[in-house]
Amino acid sequence: MLTVPVEIQILFAGILFLLGLIGLLVRRNMIFMLMSIEIMFNSAGLVFIIASTHWKQPDGQVMFIFILSVTAVEVAIALALLLQVYHHFKTLDADSVNKLKDHN
């Protein structure tokens, strides 16, 4: 039986989420940005599981399954878009995809 305080567990999930946020803000490579989004999704699911274990209710695990399906769809679409971007621009740099910007 795990007796780690629930505050520590949520703190761990928060640290993972913030690491994902830092990665999303710092990296410009689209693969790395997607990976950071995955880290953030995963830590949100971790909070659901922690709450589910804390309150002994199955709802958190149900929510994790929904997060899993949303993540799968998101990754499939995002990677397909990423392939298209690479074919058009020959780079994955997010700052180079700025054809809609005014060049004045």
Catalog residues that contact another protein under the rule CB under 8 A.
1-4, 6-7, 9-12, 14-16, 18-23, 25-29, 31-32, 34-36, 38-39, 42, 46, 49-50, 52-59, 61-62, 64-66, 68-73, 75-77, 79-84, 86-87, 91-93, 95-96
Q: Which residues pair with 29 in a beta bridge?
A: 93
CA distance 43 to 36: 11
Look up residue 52 and give its two tokens: 């589910």
Q: Closest approach of Cβ 22 to another protein, in Å?
A: 5
Q: What is the DSSP string of 58-96?
A: THHHHHHHHHHHHHHHHHHHHHHHHHHHHHHHS--BGGG
Task: Name the residue with tokens 């209710």.
Answer: 57
Q: Closest approach of Cβ 40 to another protein, in Å?
A: 11
Residue placing its CB nearer to another protein in the complex, 4 or 100: 4
Q: Closest approach of Cβ 71 to another protein, in Å?
A: 7
Q: Closest approach of Cβ 5 to another protein, in Å?
A: 8
Q: What is the DSSP letter of 99?
A: T
